[in-house]
């Protein structure tokens, strides 16, 4: 192995990095457009994860003594195959469920979907992206006909006069992204909506923009209020609306009922501040002759049982100003997980086939069945979304077994205690991971797998840019790629079709399967990407075979860029128009009340990633953020006798979690914030509700009614809270 | 199929019908809705913004609902209810049967008895009220040519109109019969602060003064005559002396009327269970506040009752919040406040009287919750108090803290001293950077190479530049301090 140019294992910005192997594995930033040479501490320290002390290096099987003991691959895979056969013989194909992850490479995400449908014959597959991008995806599909998080290169943001970030904290979650906001901050145009004064919100200060801190759960009303002001100022882009959209009149009519003074009462945002934000947006919009405005959504507004509607409200605002589908202006969403974009396109979703196809569409089934060499009717139908899937485990009629790949739902799913109980009730739990995550520790079989620096593949960035992941070192011990594991299991289960284990070969099959779909990768291959890589930029989907052929015949194949900007001529609905859809605010599923009088919101810290399984094992990250915290306002703290560092208990209708207090003026006095990177007693998701969005299946991660108390008695397992 | 007739297509009537048809998934109701105005529904709350010129008429039109089970007749006045045959009769003689009837006829402007105004027929030119979209259109047009206006009544609407006309540059005098303005919401002290703000807008003020008559000629109004004899010259008089529930139709039908149509807690007429009343025309047991939020919650409650469903609240807001939308005047009241504040034991009032700064804030606290507040000139504090009040969230131990913004805090012992990293993205302390400089890093990139500082969001690179420009020796000195 030698040095390799690749991308960070963590978030969807997919920062470019060079892996050096001269003295152990070492990371250096690489000047890729998404990170412009930057890396955060997670990226810098990512090499550590390849060699953490408890790295999984051998398959583990729970023996008679109930301990996990090392076994050979042969034993582990034979055991899994036999158990699957037995369970399916008794309960049917759907008795085996699969839970995937948004961190898996495109090749793995594709192959996992295929494995579920062909080798297991199950409809019961979904993935942790349901907890991440599902609301934004549902809203974008409905409005534009395609869901590509940012339908433009992130570097376009440099030209903006205004950027509205709603419920997103990139300064903490993808720090190098902030470089793309430098220009708009100089123009005073950074607009941030967040109940907390986050690091991102603080970037608006000193004349760089405006921060609005609404009461949690009221984003939709706030967005209707902004739309109302746009209407009242007669700042609608009427030509754009007439030529490129449908349904806007009904939306405008609803917004009339959300005048600023009403919005102030609901959201707690001063009328004057609403006007300030609207002013900046209007002045930046193309109709007013501005240099462009962007509306960008994040998990803060999306992760609720009203998430799809809230994103739709943001899209409606963008449509009113004529932003989507225009060069220099846009609507977009900031995808979270490393392959959160590619992972949601190729079949991990319960209702999806590769290429962002719908599993119930006969033409899609026929095409995919053709690629896979099976009859269309043998493909299972639509499954159920993640929360419902996890809740059905082990229940009568529900799955008896679960295979988990690239996810840690014991920490990341809502109402996590209940999820643990469901997993414990299974006949078989198989977890493939690089470390013994909280979920792996409950498994009957644990499979050690390769990770980023140890494998080839592709990822798709938050902009729909397909980039290459490259191998620098061999995986330790007996760790294997999931591609090999699924091929081995497919063979044992007598599955049809072919099961290549080389990532380039799997990608070629993915490309064929995606051909003609919304997310069309058919003009892409590892080879093509390696050429593009020389030009340092990846390829944007849709990148069809005919586009590649044109580049090969007529131009320089190294110029093969795919589609950097979507929708410039038309949106992806049959009539070419973007759809404005009427949405109205709603009271939260779990409103504050006397016994639970404060809002609980959850989110991330700079030094950890998702369930923390990787980052909590990196000493320098753990030193920077050693334990769960609860952020609260000094007045709320004083009321409960809490000082910074004190152990506090947060209780909701689901349960109680414990964490150290961090007293801060950066949060509203009616709200507490808890990061979700820890399991056990410090797990924020012990508190969150499994109520889900009717359209997207997204649970209510971002809003719960809670009470807070100072812990004065000794706590079991207090040591986990440091 | 139940035949439901709704009389009134205003904000409450239109909202009721939209909610009903949405909730009635079983399709049990067929609705006929009559609107006396020929215009589609509009946002009445925003009429004063049209007067002030901060928005145009087009932007306040509400959606005209289209639905297979809805028939809407606009410009169609219902003039009779035949309760025996269960029929409503419109002015054109059309008869429409109902199984259930909802009255949402709203209210009309109250016009006091003024000498010279006449009791029948058209008032003199220049005398106006503000209740309908036609009123707003006419008033906005009249303000273009007005050289002097009088507004009668310094309640919410009167203040909004007066401030709106002042914004348009019309000299305005505000005449108010009570000794202080907005007396339903404000006590004497807070009203005094508001009066100062009104005067600051160059609006003339006559409080405790009743208009007794007007003088008009063929061109229209010339003067308003006050009961103390003072004569206010004007070419425009806007009467904002409150509203009267529009109950003539209900009264003719023999329904029990007091101020409004007397209804039960379930919003049914006390003497005809087939007839309901909501909004400004209704008089529920708890009393009518004349506020939109109350009408909307009544509409929601009635839909829930009729369809047997729960209609999800859409954060309408709380019934008893009053917020002035008058350019230049900052007034918010909520809950138990001002003159409505009883001196009950256990109710604690915390007042900031700061008339010199045009500010007056009063918080009313009961059992650890904010149950009411008055905010004059309070700025963004009012927005925070609104959510504290509507959500009943916990108060600080000392409620005075509700009036402070973040700059007022010294976190002191409450917060643990955490050394702030110079580069937070990479947890690099200032000391670590100075170390690097001392050991030979001469550029930002060299610092980055040694420490990773500046390689995340890039936000600290300016600080690194500054640090370097002070020179290595200085940096080393700083370090030794």
On chain B, the residues whose CB falls within 8 A of the CB of A624 are: 427
How far lies A471's CA from each of A368, A450, A454, A474, in Å?
30, 10, 5, 8
Pair B286, B138 in one domain: no
Q: Which of B241, B271, B292 is the last residue of a domain?
A: B241
Amino acid B408: pLDDT = 72
Average pLDDT over residues A573-590: 94
On chain B, the residues whose CB falls within 8 A of the CB of A44 are: 426, 452, 455
Buried/exposed B179-205: b ≥16 CB within 10 Å, e otherwise: ebbbbebbbebbbbbbbbbbeebebbb
| Cβ within 8 Å, pair B392-A665 | no
Residue B458 CB-density burial (10 A; 0-12 exposed, 13-18 middle, 19+ buried): buried
Amino acid A533: pLDDT = 63
| DSSP character at residue B271 | T
Calculate what percentage of chain A has a pLDDT beyond 90.
Answer: 91
Q: Does the pLDDT of residue A718 top 80, yes or no?
A: no
- The string of DSSP letters for A475-529 reads PSTT-B-HHHHHHHHHHHTT-SS----SHHHHHHHHHHHHTTSSS--TT--HHHH
Sheet order of strands, B149-152 included: B127-129, B236-239, B149-152, B172-176, B203-207
Tell me if residue A104 falls in helix, strand or coil.
coil
Q: How far is CA A638 from the centre of its chain?
A: 36
Task: Indicate the pTM of the whole model.
Answer: 0.93
The confidence band for A722, taking pLDDT boundaries of 50, 70 and 90, is very low
Find residues 658-677 of chain A whose CB sits inside 8 Å of chain B: 662-665, 668-670
Amino acid B337: pLDDT = 87
Residues 6+ apart with CB under 8 A from B324: B156, B159, B160, B330, B331, B332
Pair B248, B237 in one domain: no
| Cβ within 8 Å, pair A178-B54 | no
Pair B230, B138 in one domain: yes
Q: Does the pLDDT of residue A291 top 60, yes or no?
A: yes
Find residues 249-278 of chain A whose CB sits inside 8 Å of chain B: 250, 253-254, 256-257, 259, 261-262, 264-273
Q: Does the pLDDT of residue A679 top 60, yes or no?
A: yes
Tell me how far apart the alpha carbons of residues A295 and A281 are, in angstroms, rounded to a whole number.
9
Residue B370: CATH number of its domain: 3.30.390.30
| Cβ within 8 Å, pair B455-A643 | no
Residue A60 CB-density burial (10 A; 0-12 exposed, 13-18 middle, 19+ buried): buried
Find residues 59-88 of chain B whose CB sits inside 8 Å of chain A: 59-64
| Cβ within 8 Å, pair A253-B401 | no
Contact of A163 with A294, CB cutoff 8 Å: yes
First-to-last C-alpha distance (Å) of chain A = 39
Sign, Cα dihedral of B231, B234, B235, B241: negative
Pair B227, B280 in one domain: no
Domain A60-131+339-519 = CATH 3.40.50.740? yes
Does A638 contact chain B (CB < 8 Å)? yes
* pLDDT one-digit tens code per residue, A482-503: 999 999 999 999 999 999 999 9
Amino acid A717: pLDDT = 53
Amino acid A65: pLDDT = 77
> Domain spanning A598-721 has what CATH number?
2.40.40.20
Tell me how far apart the alpha carbons of residues A706 and A316 are, in angstroms, rounded to a whole number.
32
Pair B42, B142 in one domain: no
Buried/exposed B237-256: b ≥16 CB within 10 Å, e otherwise: bbbbbbbbbbbebbeebebe
Query: How, if at all, do strands B236-239 and B127-129 pair?
Result: parallel
Pair B236, B133 in one domain: yes
Within a domain: residue B424? no
| DSSP character at residue B124 | P
Within a domain: residue B417? no
Tell me how far apart the alpha carbons of residues A564 and A543 are, in angstroms, rounded to a whole number.
10
* pLDDT one-digit tens code per residue, A508-550: 999 999 999 999 999 999 999 998 665 678 999 999 998 888 8
ipTM, two decimals, is 0.86
Q: What is the mean pLDDT of chain A?
A: 95
On chain A, the residues whose CB falls within 8 A of the CB of B133 are: none
Average pLDDT over residues A636-650: 95
Tell me how far apart the alpha carbons of residues A404 and A413 are, in angstroms, rounded to a whole number.
13
Does A516 contact chain B (CB < 8 Å)? no
> Domain spanning A134-334 has what CATH number?
3.40.228.10
Tell me how far apart the alpha carbons of residues A637 and A380 are, in angstroms, rounded to a whole number.
53
> Could you tell me where the beta strands, DSSP code E, fall in B110-179?
127-129, 149-152, 172-176
> Domain spanning A4-51 has what CATH number?
2.20.25.90
Choose from A175, A216, A633, A705 for mutation: most chain B CBs within 10 A: A175
Choose from A182, A222, A256, A306 for mutation: most chain B CBs within 10 A: A256
> Residue B404 — φ and ψ, nearest 5°?
-105, 150
Q: Which of B378, B408, B438 is the last residue of a domain?
A: B408
Q: How far is B329 from chain A (nearest CA, A)?
A: 12
Pair B14, B57 in one domain: yes
Angle CA(A589)–CA(B318)–CA(B239) in degrees, nearest 5? 150
Contact of A632 with A661, CB cutoff 8 Å: yes
On chain B, the residues whose CB falls within 8 A of the CB of A201 are: none
Does B425 contact chain A (CB < 8 Å)? yes
Within a domain: residue B153? yes
Does B391 contact chain A (CB < 8 Å)? yes
Q: Identify the closest residue of chain B to A172 by CA–CA distance.
A: B425
Q: Does the pLDDT of residue A720 top 60, yes or no?
A: no
Choose from B53, B379, B387, B449 for mutation: most chain A CBs within 10 A: B387
Pair B341, B297 in one domain: no
Residues 6+ apart with CB under 8 A from A489: A77, A80, A81, A84, A115, A119
Q: Identify the closest residue of chain B to A173 by CA–CA distance.
A: B425
3-state secondary structure A425-474: CCCEEEEEECCCCCCHHHCCEEEEECCHHHCCEEEECCCCEEEEECCCCC
* pLDDT one-digit tens code per residue, A293-306: 999 999 999 999 99
Token reading at A97: 């469920």
Number of H helices, E strands in chain B: 12, 26
Within a domain: residue B370? yes
Residue A130 CB-density burial (10 A; 0-12 exposed, 13-18 middle, 19+ buried): buried
Number of H helices, E strands in chain A: 24, 30
Of residues B61, B380, B458, nearest to A270 (C-beta): B380
- The string of DSSP letters for A68-97 reads EEE--HHHHHHHHHHHHHHHHHHH-GGGEE
Q: Which residues of chain B have pLDDT under 50?
A: 315-316, 414, 416-417, 473, 475, 479-481
Buried/exposed B308-328: b ≥16 CB within 10 Å, e otherwise: eeebbebbbbbbbbbbbbbbb
* pLDDT one-digit tens code per residue, B83-95: 999 999 999 999 9
Tell me how far apart the alpha carbons of residues B280 and B258 are, in angstroms, rounded to a whole number.
13
For B38, other C-beta atoms within 10 Å of its C-beta total: 10
Residues 6+ apart with CB under 8 A from A176: A13, A15, A34, A35, A36, A38, A39, A40, B456, B457, B458
Q: Does the pLDDT of residue A464 top 60, yes or no?
A: yes
Tell me how far apart the alpha carbons of residues A144 and A140 are, in angstroms, rounded to a whole number.
6
Pair B62, B101 in one domain: yes
Pair B197, B141 in one domain: yes
Tell me if residue A655 falls in helix, strand or coil.
coil
| Cβ within 8 Å, pair B414-A234 | no
| DSSP character at residue B358 | T
3-state secondary structure A216-243: CCCHHHHHHHHHHHHHHCCCCCHHHHHH
Q: Which of B241, B259, B279 is the last residue of a domain?
A: B241
On chain A, the residues whose CB falls within 8 A of the CB of B424 are: 199, 606
Amino acid B406: pLDDT = 72
Pair B147, B222 in one domain: yes
Pair B140, B236 in one domain: yes
Structural domain boundaries of chain A?
A: 4-51, 60-131+339-519, 134-334, 598-721
Number of domains in chain B: 4
Amino acid B473: pLDDT = 47
Q: Does the pLDDT of residue A635 top 80, yes or no?
A: yes
Q: Residue B343 sits in which domain range?
A: 330-408
Tell me how far apart the alpha carbons of residues A570 and A298 are, in angstroms, rounded to a whole number.
25
Amino acid B315: pLDDT = 47
Does B210 contact chain A (CB < 8 Å)? no
Token reading at A391: 């809740």
């Amino acid at each position: 192995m030698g040095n390799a140019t690749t991308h960070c294992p963590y978030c969807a910005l997919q920062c470019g990095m060079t892996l050096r192997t001269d003295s152990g594995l070492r990371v250096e930033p690489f000047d890729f457009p998404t990170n412009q040479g930057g890396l955060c501490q997670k990226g810098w320290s990512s090499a550590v994860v390849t060699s953490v002390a408890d790295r999984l290096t051998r398959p583990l099987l729970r023996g008679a003594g109930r301990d996990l003991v090392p076994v050979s691959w042969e034993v582990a895979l034979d055991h899994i195959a036999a158990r699957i056969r037995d369970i399916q013989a008794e309960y049917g194909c759907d008795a085996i469920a699969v839970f995937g992850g948004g961190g898996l490479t495109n090749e793995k995400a594709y192959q996992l979907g295929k494995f579920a449908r062909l080798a297991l014959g199950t409809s019961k597959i979904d993935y942790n992206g349901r907890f991440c991008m599902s609301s934004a995806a549902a809203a974008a599909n409905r409005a534009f006909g395609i869901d590509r998080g940012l339908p433009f290169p992130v570097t376009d943001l440099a030209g903006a006069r205004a950027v509205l970030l709603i419920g997103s904290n990139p300064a903490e979650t993808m720090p190098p992204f902030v470089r793309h906001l430098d220009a708009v901050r100089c123009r005073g145009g950074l607009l941030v909506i967040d109940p907390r004064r986050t690091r991102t919100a603080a970037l608006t200060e000193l004349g760089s923009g405006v921060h609005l801190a609404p009461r949690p759960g009221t984003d939709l009303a706030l967005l209707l209020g902004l739309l109302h002001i746009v209407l009242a100022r007669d700042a609608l882009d009427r030509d754009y609306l007439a030529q490129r959209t449908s349904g806007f009149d009904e939306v405008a009519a609803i917004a009339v009922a959300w005048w600023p003074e009403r919005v102030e009462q609901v959201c707690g945002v001063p009328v004057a501040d609403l006007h300030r934000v609207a002013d900046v947006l209007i002045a930046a919009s193309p109709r007013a002759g501005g240099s462009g405005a962007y509306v960008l959504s994040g998990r803060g507004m999306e992760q609720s049982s009203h998430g799809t509607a809230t994103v739709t409200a943001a899209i409606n605002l963008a449509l009113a100003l004529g932003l989507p589908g225009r060069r220099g202006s846009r609507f977009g969403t900031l995808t979270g997980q490393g392959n959160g974009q590619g992972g949601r396109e190729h079949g991990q979703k319960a209702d999806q086939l590769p290429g962002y196809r719908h599993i119930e569409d006969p033409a899609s089934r026929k095409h995919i069945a053709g690629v896979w060499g099976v009859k269309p009717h043998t493909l299972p139908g639509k499954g159920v979304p993640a929360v419902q899937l996890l809740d059905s485990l082990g229940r009568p009629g529900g799955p008896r077994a679960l295979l988990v790949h690239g996810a840690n739902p014991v920490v990341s799913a809502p109402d996590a205690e209940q999820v643990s109980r469901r997993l414990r009730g299974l006949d078989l739990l198989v977890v493939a991971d690089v470390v013994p995550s909280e979920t792996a520790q409950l498994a009957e079989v644990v499979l050690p797998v390769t990770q980023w620096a140890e494998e080839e593949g592709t990822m798709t960035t938050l902009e729909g840019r397909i980039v290459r992941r490259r191998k620098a070192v061999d995986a330790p011990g007996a760790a294997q790629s999931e591609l090999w594991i699924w091929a081995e299991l497919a063979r044992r289960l007598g599955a049809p079709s072919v099961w290549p284990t080389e990532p380039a070969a799997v990608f070629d099959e993915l490309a064929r399967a995606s051909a003609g779909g919304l997310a069309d990768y058919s003009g892409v291959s590892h080879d093509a990407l390696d050429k593009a890589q020389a030009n340092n930029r990846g390829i944007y989907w849709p990148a069809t075979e005919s586009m590649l052929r044109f580049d090969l015949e007529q131009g320089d194949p190294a110029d093969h860029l795919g589609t950097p900007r979507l929708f410039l001529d038309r949106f992806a609905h049959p009539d070419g128009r973007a759809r404005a859809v009427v949405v109205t605010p709603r009271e939260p599923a779990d409103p504050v009340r006397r016994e639970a009088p404060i809002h609980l919101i959850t989110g991330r810290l700079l030094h950890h990633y998702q369930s923390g399984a990787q980052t909590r094992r990196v000493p320098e990250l753990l030193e920077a953020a050693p334990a769960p915290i609860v952020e609260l306002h000094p007045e709320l703290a004083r009321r409960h006798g809490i000082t910074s560092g004190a152990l506090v208990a947060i209780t909701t209708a689901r349960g109680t979690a414990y964490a150290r207090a961090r007293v801060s003026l950066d949060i509203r006095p009616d709200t507490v914030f808890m990061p979700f990177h820890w399991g056990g007693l410090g797990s924020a998701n012990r508190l969150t509700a499994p109520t889900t969005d009717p359209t997207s299946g997204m649970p209510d991660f971002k809003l719960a009614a809670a009470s807070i108390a100072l812990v004065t008695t000794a706590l079991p397992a207090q040591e986990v809270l440091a | 199929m139940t035949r439901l007739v709704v009389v009134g297509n205003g904000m409450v009537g239109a909202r009721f019908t939209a909610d009903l048809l949405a909730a009635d998934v079983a399709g049990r109701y067929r609705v006929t809705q009559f609107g006396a105005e020929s215009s589609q529904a509009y946002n009445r709350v925003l009429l004063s913004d049209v007067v002030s010129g901060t928005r145009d008429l087009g932007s306040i039109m509400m959606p005209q609902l289209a639905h297979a089970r809805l028939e809407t007749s606009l410009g169609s006045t219902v003039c009779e209810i035949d309760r025996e045959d269960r029929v409503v009769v419109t002015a054109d003689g059309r008869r429409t049967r109902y199984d259930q009837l909802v009255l949402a006829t709203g209210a009309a402007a109250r016009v006091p008895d003024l000498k010279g105004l006449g009791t029948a027929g058209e008032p003199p030119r220049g005398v106006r009220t503000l209740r309908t979209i036609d009123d707003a259109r006419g008033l906005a047009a009249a303000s273009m040519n007005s050289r002097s206006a009088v507004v009668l009544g310094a309640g919410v609407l009167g203040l909004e109109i007066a401030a709106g006309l002042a914004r348009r540059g019309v000299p305005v005098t505000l005449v108010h019969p009570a000794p202080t303005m907005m007396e339903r919401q404000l006590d004497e002290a807070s009203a005094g602060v508001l009066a100062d703000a009104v005067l600051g807008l160059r609006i003339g003020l006559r409080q405790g003064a009743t208009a007794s008559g007007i003088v008009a000629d063929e061109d229209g109004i010339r003067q308003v005559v006050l009961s103390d004899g003072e004569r206010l010259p004007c070419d425009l008089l806007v009467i904002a002396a409150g509203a009267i529930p529009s109950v003539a139709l209900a009264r003719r039908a023999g329904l029990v009327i007091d101020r409004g149509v007397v209804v039960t807690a379930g919003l049914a007429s006390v003497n005809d269970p087939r007839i309901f009343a909501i909004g400004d025309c209704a008089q529920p047991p708890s009393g009518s506040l004349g506020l939109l939020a109350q009408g909307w919650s009544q509409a929601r409650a009635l839909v829930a009752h009729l369809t047997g469903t729960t209609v999800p609240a859409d954060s309408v807001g709380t019934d008893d919040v009053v917020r002035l939308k008058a350019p230049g005047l900052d007034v918010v009241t909520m809950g138990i406040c001002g003159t409505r504040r009883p001196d009950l034991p256990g109710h604690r009032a915390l007042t900031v009287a700061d008339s010199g700064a045009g500010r007056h804030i009063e918080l009313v606290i009961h059992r650890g919750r904010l149950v009411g507040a008055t905010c004059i000139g309070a700025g963004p504090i009012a927005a925070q108090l609104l959510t504290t009040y509507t959500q009943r969230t916990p108060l600080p131990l000392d409620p005075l803290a509700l009036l402070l913004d973040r700059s007022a805090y010294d976190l002191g012992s409450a917060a643990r001293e955490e050394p702030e990293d110079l580069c937070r993205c990479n947890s690099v302390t200032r000391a670590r950077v100075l170390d690097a400089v001392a050991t030979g890093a001469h550029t930002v990139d060299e610092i980055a190479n040694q420490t990773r500082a500046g390689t995340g969001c890039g936000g600290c690179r300016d600080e690194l530049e500054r640090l370097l420009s002070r020179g290595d020796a200085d940096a080393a000195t700083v370090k030794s301090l």
